[in-house]
Structure 1
Amino acid sequence: MKKIAQKSMIALMLFGIGTGYAFSEQGRKNANTKQEATHEHSFLKPEPPTVKIALLLDTSNSMDGLINQAKSQLWDIVNQFTYAKCRNEGRPGLKIALYQYGNNDLSSQEGYIQQVLGFSGDLDEISAKLFSLTTNGGEEYCGQVIHQSLQQLDWGKNPDDLKMVFIAGNEPFTQGRKNFREAVLHAKERGVIVNTIFCGDYNLGIQTQWQEGARLAGGEYMAIDHNRQVVHVKTPYDEIIIRLNKRLNNTYVSYGTKGAERMAVQVEQDAEAMDLQEAVAVKRAVSKSSAYYNNAGWDLVDASSSDDFDLARIKKETLPESLRDKSDSEIRMFLDEKRKERQDIQEEIQQANAKRQTYLNEVQKSETGELEKAILEAIKKQAAAKDLYWE
């Protein structure tokens, strides 16, 4: 009986040791796994922040100058972002939304307000929407359009994003049923900075509460001459950049049900910019040579640059006819050639633009527009809080 008890005791001791070892070993494995995960995570760079800009533009009768400035100076703003950097060495994303308000052609039930475009990084789409704007009378309800932009737009929850409203107009900021103070304070609570741009005399904008709207929201108050025409200086490099832009367009390969349509929009927006002024077409071409001009939604070259691109998912009947009968390997080779061609042309545009900027500096002519200057000054000032800076 004593021997049985001794054997039982020994078995229990061995079981305990084995179990302890098993738990200890599993613990070491868990610790190692956790350590490996932490080690792996430490190599992952955080996603760069996005600058989200909601442009709220007064499109009443007196605002033709403002709309023309927005059309022509969009590309200057985009081009400035090519010099923006994050502390993690990446470049911030850029998304722009567009509202119009104060136009009699809009619904009175909606407060003469329309969301023209939600947040988008598609530069052709943004340009097309700006060129679609026309002016016509109306009541300008600043508080209400700010409120609607807060409710309707997807501002996201990333605390590192820089979220900004720029509202431009020339009537009292106090008009409309929605109290502007409530609207701008709500924006501030949501981490959205409201910047106000009064189109007219600086002191008149203060008297009509435009400055107060910005102050309450932690933004900037600015006054501009919306009818001022920017004097563009012709340079020896303009024609070079425009010719390169035409070659650049030939590197795009449409796909999908709307690919051909979107390619037509690209050409159409080139023409719109040229009709406005040759210098605007030049600046648009420079934007098209930057990383911010990405058309992965309809261009196979941009799409194929993504890590998760799968050519097998592309329906060949939506490709240009010249590619439909080619094998996957032939299409990939073709895309590689187009990508290299595009990169070379974009580099040539950048080099020509650098010489263009040097020329402009030498003749001491400024091409800065009123709206562009106001927006960029506010962005650069407020970006510092998000660890964004300009080279």
Structure 2
Amino acid sequence: MKALKNIIGIGIMCLSISTIYGCELRTKKGVKNPILVQAVAPKEKASNNTVKIALLLDTSNSMDGLINQAKAQLWDIVNKFTHAKCGNDERPNLEIALYQYGNDGLSSREGYIQQVLNFSSDLDEISEKLFSLTTNGGEEYCGEVIQTSLKQLEWGKNADNLKMIFIAGNEPFTQGKLNYKDAVTNAKEKDIVVNTIFCGNYEQGINTDWKNGATITGGEYMAIDHNRKVVHIATPYDNVIIKLNGRLNRTYISYGAAGAAKMSMQAEQDENAYVMEEAVAVKRAVSKSSRMYNNSSWDLVDAVDDKEVDLSKLKDDELPSELKGKSESEIATYVQEKKRERSKIQEEIQELNTKREAFILKNQKEDAKGELENAMLNAIMKQAAKKNYVWE
């Protein structure tokens, strides 16, 4: 069976780890590309300790079990990463890119490879792309997709940034004209760690060079049972958290050309999570109550808080209906009211989640987590420890 697009979620779990220098031990001044927002002049922001992850997912044939497991575990990984801290006490930023490969629906001239998402910190966008993937038979060229991601993505030259690739598949790592050893060696030269996830028997993955593909860069090799069903434990706090999530959504104030579409995407990704299982919707709600969920490109509360927008320069047609015709001071007051309301709701969700996690810990059987979650979290914790990360 060739397929394996699914471990896509896994990748997202990797959201936190390695590179040869790791966390900056002391704060340095730096800049990054600004978030492009309507009616806001481009500006630079500090971006120390940025984690850059490229997920390279085999989408050949059908592997529904793995896909479902990946989708279910996505928010567990995000929530884990929320608590990461660097040696200088800074909270690292996260950017994720997504590629699919080995799908007959992709161009043969491009090696059956497609960039699905460039580096992004937009969690709704990442979720949307994850849920949009479909499988189809094809040829899986691991070396070529690694090399493509090295060429197309802007990895940057900051040696303190954590930069990694997670590639998942179940066909020999040696397929294709481009030797995978050349590709992973190029990654190592760029301080990018390659982690490999083989969907199948551990020894088979070793025999087909998946382990060697990771070892060359000091990465982790993992083999998972993609058909293992994730068992979620229901808690007395789930329904309350889901209701609070509905209230949380009503604190968002869309603005600019993309505002309405982004707000719709937010609701769609809530629905995607809920359709999978109520527990997944709860985990997403917890993520939305954390620092990782920032929408300054379309939400006025986050934009004002991050100083990404000047209210005096916003045009009336860039505002939602409830703010059209309002003065700058009236808009500012409204934004602050929504900010206070949001903070209160987020705090409530976090407090309930603490109780929820304690309940799960008490009632969870040993090794009850999903294969993807176990594999990715183990890799994250191990590699992060080498890079000055601590977990609260």
TM-score norm. by structure 1 comes to 0.87
* Higher fraction of helix: 1
User: Quick one: which amino acid aligns to residue 208 of structure 1?
Assistant: T
The answer for unaligned runs of 5 or more in structure 2 is: 1-25, 31-46
Shift of 1:308: 5.3
More off after superposition, 42-51 vs 109-118:
42-51
Structure 1 residues 220-246: Cα deviation after superposition (integer angstroms, max 9, x where no partner): 111001111101111111101100000
User: Quick one: which amino acid aligns to residue 294 of structure 1?
Assistant: N
Cα distance between partner residues in 1 of 2:71 and 2:259 = 24
Cα distance between partner residues in 2 of 1:270 and 1:157 = 36
Tell me which residue corresponds to 2:385.
384
Shift of 1:64: 2.5
Q: 2:296 touches 2:308 (CA, 8 Å); kept in 1?
A: no
User: Quick one: which amino acid aligns to residue 277 of structure 2?
Assistant: Q
Tell me which residue corresponds to 1:232.
232
SS at structure 2 position matched to 1:292: coil
User: Quick one: which amino acid aligns to residue 332 of structure 1?
Assistant: A
Higher-RCO chain (CA-CA 8 Å, sequence separation at least 6): 2
Q: 1:59 touches 1:67 (CA, 8 Å); kept in 2?
A: no
Q: 1:67 touches 1:133 (CA, 8 Å); kept in 2?
A: no
Tell me which residue corresponds to 1:20.
none
The answer for unaligned runs of 5 or more in structure 1 is: 1-41
Alpha-carbon spacing, 1:277–1:301, altered in 2? closer, same or farther (3 Å):
same
Aligned-pair Cα RMSD in Å:
1.5
Tell me which residue corresponds to 1:191.
191
More off after superposition, 172-181 vs 309-318:
309-318
Alpha-carbon spacing, 1:43–1:167, altered in 2? closer, same or farther (3 Å):
closer
Q: Is residue 382 of structure 2 the alignment partner of residue 360 of structure 1? A: no
Tell me which residue corresponds to 2:114.
114
For 1:306-325, what aligned pairs fall within 5 Å after superposition?
A: 306-307=306-307, 309-325=309-325
Cα distance between partner residues in 1 of 2:185 and 2:153 = 17
Q: 1:48 touches 1:86 (CA, 8 Å); kept in 2?
A: no
Shift of 1:368: 2.6
Q: 1:316 touches 1:324 (CA, 8 Å); kept in 2?
A: yes
Corresponding pairs, count:
350
Alpha-carbon spacing, 1:99–1:185, altered in 2? closer, same or farther (3 Å):
same
Shift of 1:261: 0.7
Alpha-carbon spacing, 1:64–1:43, altered in 2? closer, same or farther (3 Å):
closer
Tell me which residue corresponds to 2:72.
72
Structure 1 residues 22-57: Cα deviation after superposition (integer angstroms, max 9, x where no partner): xxxxxxxxxxxxxxxxxxxx9977753011111111
SS at structure 2 position matched to 1:326: coil
Cα distance between partner residues in 2 of 1:274 and 1:197 = 27
Percent identical: 65
Q: 1:289 touches 1:347 (CA, 8 Å); kept in 2?
A: yes
Q: 2:28 touches 2:48 (CA, 8 Å); kept in 1?
A: no
SS at structure 1 position matched to 2:240: helix
Cα distance between partner residues in 1 of 2:364 and 2:254 = 42
Structure 1 residues 84-135: Cα deviation after superposition (integer angstroms, max 9, x where no partner): 1011111111111111111111111111111100110000000000010001
Quick check: which has more Rg, 1 or 2? Answer: 1
Q: 2:27 touches 2:48 (CA, 8 Å); kept in 1?
A: no
Q: 2:164 touches 2:194 (CA, 8 Å); kept in 1?
A: yes
Cα distance between partner residues in 1 of 2:384 and 2:48 = 13
Cα distance between partner residues in 2 of 1:43 and 1:109 = 45
TM-score norm. by structure 2 comes to 0.86
Q: 1:215 touches 1:221 (CA, 8 Å); kept in 2?
A: yes
